[in-house]
Amino acid sequence: SSELTQDPAVSVALGQTVRITCQGDSLRSYYPGWYQQKPGQAPVLVFYGKKNRPSGIPDRISGSRSGDTASLTITGAQAEDEADYYCNSRDSSGNAVIFGGGTRLTVL
């Protein structure tokens, strides 16, 4: 299929670890990008590929992939991590780009 599925909402206690998942057939062929979006702001790339974190992104954010599921893990969540998170990849044909529906992360 050409879809990426994310849980609509996830919550985590301050300082705890949370995993946000993204599932889709295209992820068997393509590593995803992960984006953080805060209200009223443009998205920011926070992790991409097998093990890449853009400059300025804290190392408490990491990514992984197994089969058709990719995960973004935040270890020791902080209040500033509260945001919407999106995954994306090329679709299975490689000719288009798809996004997951997004996960709203709440830090309690």
Partner 1 sequence: EVQLVESGGGLVQPGGSLTLSCAASEFTFSVFWMNWVRQAPGKGLEWVASIRPDGSETSYVDSVKGRFTISRDNSKNSLFLQMGSLRAEDTAVYYCVRDRSSSWFDYWGQGALVTVHS
Among positions 67-106, residues that touch partner 1 (CB under 8 A) are: 84, 86, 88-90, 95-102
Q: How far apart are CA 11 and CA 27, in angstroms?
A: 24
Residue 37 vs 75, nearer CB to partner 1: 37
Question: Would you say 52 and 34 are in contact if contact means Cβ atoms under 8 Å apart?
Answer: no
* Residue 86: partners with Cβ closer than 8 Å, 6 or more residues away: 6, 34, 35, 37, 43, 99, 100, 102, 103
Q: Is 53 in the site for partner 1 (CB under 8 A)?
A: no
The smaller minimum CB distance to partner 1, of residues 55 and 79, is found at 55
Tokens 């953080």 correspond to 36
108 binds partner 1 (CB under 8 A): no
Q: Least distance in Å: CB of 74 to partner 1? A: 19
Burial (0-12, 13-18, 19+ Cβ within 10 Å), 39? exposed
Among 35, 61, 63, 92, binds partner 1 (CB under 8 A): 35
Query: Under the rule (CB under 8 A), what is the footprint of partner 1?
Result: 30-31, 33, 35, 37, 42-45, 48-49, 54, 84, 86, 88-90, 95-102
